[in-house]
Amino acid sequence: MDLNYSAEELAFREEVREFLREELPTDLSDAVREGRSIGKEGHERWHSILNARGWLAPNWPRAYGGCAWNAVQRHIFEEECCRAHAPRIVPFGLTMLGPVLQKFGSDAQRDYFLPRILSGEHWWCQGYSEPGAGSDLASLRTRAVRDGDHYVVNGQKTWTTLGQYANWIFCLVRTDPDAKQQEGISFLLIDMDTPGIEVRPIILLDGTHEVNEVWFTDVRVPVENLVGEENQGWTYAKYLLTHERTNIAGVGFSQAGLDAVKRLARQQMHRGRPLAENPHFAARLAQVEIDLMAMATTNLRIISAAAAGQAPGVESSMLKVKGTEIRQEINDLARRAAGAYAMPFASEALEGDNSNLAQPEGTAAVSAQYFNNRKLSIFGGSNEIQKNIIAKVKLGGRT
Amino acid sequence: MNFQLSEERQMMQDSLRRFLADRYSAAQRDESVSNAIGFAPQIWAQLADLGILGALLPEDVGGYGGKGFDLSTMFEELGRAGVVEPVLDTAVLCGTLLASDPQGKGAALIEDLIAGNVQLAFAHGEVNSRYERLWVATRASAYGDDIVLIGRKSVVVNAAGADHLIVSARESGDIDDREGLSLFLVDTKAEGLQMRSSALLAGGCAAEIDFDNLRIPSSARIGPAGGASEMTEAALAAAEVALAAETLGAMETATQLTMDYLGTRQQFGRPIGSFQALQHRVADMLIELEQARSAVINAAGHLEEQPAMRDRHIAAARNLIARAGRKIAEEAIQLHGGIAMTAEYELAHFAKRIILAEHRFGDADTQLERFIDLSAA
């Protein structure tokens, strides 16, 4: 048992820090720290900086232009990026689709798509959920019917994150309506410029536009855009979800969030003293920090096992539940710290204009973030679904 | 012991509920919210016609002499329907302050207030006051027959639509002294007043207001010079009962929407409400809702008591509702899933109302501290 990083790991951390010090644009880190949107341009700029360094695809093999970092290195990288308020890497092409194409795609698909994910020429989005298929994803109904050299796709996807920026979408579609639910699903790659596709914005409760509905009406997709075999899409979908769940604990986000709450609590005054000195607030803060310290170690235990070649099982479900609970609790503390300043809706602050802001620094986005991050326990497999998985695996055979 | 509403209150509840069911749709709320002043003038006029604005004011100033239970009954309905119109600010908070000085200059405004012709805002909180009730740095200094105001007020709800502000300012004493606090009626168009308004996340507006040597006649003072602490606390007490009841109403709607959704949303071939894991969570919401209802009854029933007892019950109710409200709002969103995250679905408004209510007049911790202090006294 040794809680310290090795000399090589520490050297790697230093290398990441130096890179972030030199290369991370301050306008982007300021925006991330203040909870503002960086827009399509901001994401693309950060991606191209990472790509120039060869660090855009930490989880890809070197052969495809990735870093081939192990789980510990990836963790160190993510932790340092969060600490420096770097934008998150947009995951749809890099974290989700990339590994699926590498494992199940054709040579032609790999050669064509993987370099374009790295270069940013293709911005991918995810076509999984449907209005009637949320937690019960396998009940999806978007149909793809073979017609000569094409599939003809009809249906509707929803919760498509940043679909407004995307030019490609990977979709789960039903190709065999008569088979058992999981067995009639295929995995299709669809060019968003194809006629018959319509993207409609969904405005969230904090006023932001980050998700969309995507409608398909007689959309013709070349058969060569099928990944793997027809009707085997569920297998690929599940493989993708295991990658969606990397960094699921969000330790770095929580640490950055906790630091922000502490800063705010030192600024906000209560009876003439900093709020940080108020025993009730201090107790709330300490409670979350204690939980986070333990979860960070759970996360490292699992990462360390993964680096040694063990595939994580129910542990990723456990991390998802606990990690999102902690992040949401930190968002709750942030709104508490802001006091009455949690009430105004400073939409201009979220869009990047702080010039006319009437409220104290660090308070403008706290409520919007509190409400926005209620999504954490809903998406990526809701926390209820994660608990089903844990119970099924651990109780299985006993009941 | 009788927990039934009196016949009169029952009638008021019925007529208000009917009116809001007919006229206050989600589309109406959206229209009210999107207005630059944060409410719809035509709804305001109709609330005045219903007698809502004068319901709580004493009969000697033209009101109907409503008590704590009238206040809670009314606001529970307003909260249930998600009304964003500033009844709490204009009628309860400012109306109570004006009525507590029937000889004062402000009393002339009450008739207009009851008729729906005037909007008011209480400019009391400050950058560093957090939720302290008498923490006022804004200064009021005498210059001959005039008063000069210097200072800044924060998150003044309903300021953008208000014709007049009631401004708290210190004529003497230290920042949190009971003595030395005065209230002044100030025209929002007065010279020396600068206002930056923004929308609130849960509807309505609030402003940061700077008073830069704003000059008013001393006759603008409401209540005794330097002796406004008690009337301020009494008005805040009424406002807190109103807010607690309003939040209770919003919690009822959030719970109702959740139960309806669990009955209709199908996943895995059956309504999700058939899953026991979710059923138990709805049961917890319903248990918390009844706790909240009783807490509001306790607070409303003590509004006319002496201040220490009144405020102890109010602190208890608002602490409980902060906790129960958070649980119900968060669980309502979680049990719905993604749909509850959209601005378009009605639950979003109610969840925001419930959560952000905690940020007016004192959050759970502040109420807990008040309760402890008042229990020791």
Per-residue pLDDT tens over the stretch B114-169: 999 999 999 999 999 999 999 999 999 999 999 999 999 999 999 999 999 999 99
Looking at the domain that runs over B7-118, which CATH code has it been given? Answer: 1.10.540.10
Residues for chain A: how many in total? 399
Is the predicted pLDDT of residue A225 greater than 90, yes or no? yes
Tell me if A135 is assigned to some domain: yes
* A116 contacts: CB under 8 Å, gap ≥ 6: A122
pLDDT confidence bin for B279, thresholds 50/70/90 = very high
CA of B322: which chain A residue's CA is closest? A336
Do residue A339 and residue B351 have CB atoms under 8 angstroms apart? Answer: no
Q: Quick one: A42 and A145 in the same domain?
A: no
State which residues form the domain around A268: 245-395
Q: Quick one: A211 and A290 in the same domain?
A: no
Per-residue pLDDT tens over the stretch B46-68: 999 999 999 889 898 888 899 99
- What is the CATH number for A83? 1.10.540.10
Cα dist from B315 to B303, B319, B322, whole Å: 12, 6, 10
Q: Quick one: A285 and A387 in the same domain?
A: yes
> What's the pLDDT score for residue A351?
58
Q: Quick one: A228 and A252 in the same domain?
A: no
Using CB atoms, which residue from B267, B338, B352 is nearest to A371? B352
Q: Quick one: A58 and A139 in the same domain?
A: no
What is the rounded distance in angstroms from the CA atom of residue B10 to the CA atom of residue B7? 5
> What's the pLDDT score for residue A242?
73
pLDDT confidence bin for B107, thresholds 50/70/90 = confident
Please name which of A199, A193, A197, A189 lies closest in space to residue A221, comparing C-alpha atoms: A189
Domain total in chain A:
3
Do residue B199 and residue A339 have CB atoms under 8 angstroms apart? Answer: no
Q: How far is A269 from chain B (nearest CA, A)?
A: 5
The residues of A assigned a catalytic role are 244
pLDDT confidence bin for B106, thresholds 50/70/90 = confident
Please tell me which residue, A362 or B317, carries the higher pLDDT value: B317
Beta strands in chain B (DSSP E): 120-123, 139-143, 146-157, 164-170, 181-187, 193-199, 205-217, 221-222, 266-267, 270-271
Substitution target in A205, A367, A384 with the highest count of B β-carbons within 10 Å is A205
Q: Quick one: A81 and A142 in the same domain?
A: no
Do residue B359 and residue A335 have CB atoms under 8 angstroms apart? Answer: yes
Q: Quick one: A133 and A254 in the same domain?
A: no
Report percent pLDDT > 70 for chain B.
Answer: 100
pLDDT confidence bin for B203, thresholds 50/70/90 = very high
Q: Quick one: A257 and A161 in the same domain?
A: no
Per the listing, tokens 């398909």 go with A216
Query: Average model confidence (pLDDT) for chain A?
Result: 93
Q: Quick one: A259 and A378 in the same domain?
A: yes
Please name which of B22, B27, B15, B24 lies closest in space to residue B52, comparing C-alpha atoms: B15
Cα dist from B169 to A273, B179, B197, B304, B363, whole Å: 21, 11, 21, 26, 24
- The whole-angstrom distance between residue B282's C-alpha and the CA centroid of its chain comes to 27
Q: Quick one: A264 and A390 in the same domain?
A: yes
The structural architecture, per CATH, of the domain B230-376 is: Up-down Bundle (1.20)
Which residues of chain B from 137 to 166 reach within 8 Å of chain A, CB to CB?
Answer: 154-155, 157
Homologous superfamily of B121-226 in CATH?
Butyryl-CoA Dehydrogenase, subunit A, domain 2 (2.40.110.10)
Q: Quick one: A251 and A371 in the same domain?
A: yes
User: Chain B residues with CB inside 8 Å of A338's CB?
Assistant: 359
Is the predicted pLDDT of residue A357 greater than 60, yes or no? no
Q: What are the residues facing B170 on neighbouring strands?
A: B139, B181
What is the rounded distance in angstroms from the CA atom of residue A75 to the CA atom of residue A82? 11
User: Chain A residues with CB inside 8 Å of B338's CB?
Assistant: 129, 134, 158-159, 375, 378-379
> What's the pLDDT score for residue A347?
65
Tell me if A239 is assigned to some domain: no
What is the rounded distance in angstroms from the CA atom of residue B120 to the CA atom of residue B158? 7
Tell me if A240 is assigned to some domain: no
Do residue B131 and residue A341 have CB atoms under 8 angstroms apart? Answer: no
Q: Quick one: A383 and A252 in the same domain?
A: yes
How are beta strands B164-170 and B120-123 bridged, if at all?
Answer: parallel
Q: How far is A234 from chain B (nearest CA, A)?
A: 16
Please name which of B349, B316, B344, B317 lies closest in space to residue B332, comparing C-alpha atoms: B349
Do residue A345 and residue B266 have CB atoms under 8 angstroms apart? Answer: no
Please name which of A260, A92, A70 lies closest in space to residue A78, comparing C-alpha atoms: A70
Enumerate the domain spans of chain B: 7-118, 121-226, 230-376
What is the rounded distance in angstroms from the CA atom of residue B238 to the CA atom of residue B1? 24
Do residue B130 and residue A347 have CB atoms under 8 angstroms apart? Answer: no
The first and second tokens of residue A260, run together, are: 């922000």
3-state SS, one letter per residue, for B14-58? HHHHHHHHHHCCHHHHHHHHHCCCCCCHHHHHHHHHCCCCCCCCC
> What's the pLDDT score for residue A307?
78
User: Chain A residues with CB inside 8 Å of B356's CB?
Assistant: 342-343, 367
Tell me if A97 is assigned to some domain: no
The first and second tokens of residue B297, run together, are: 């009854």
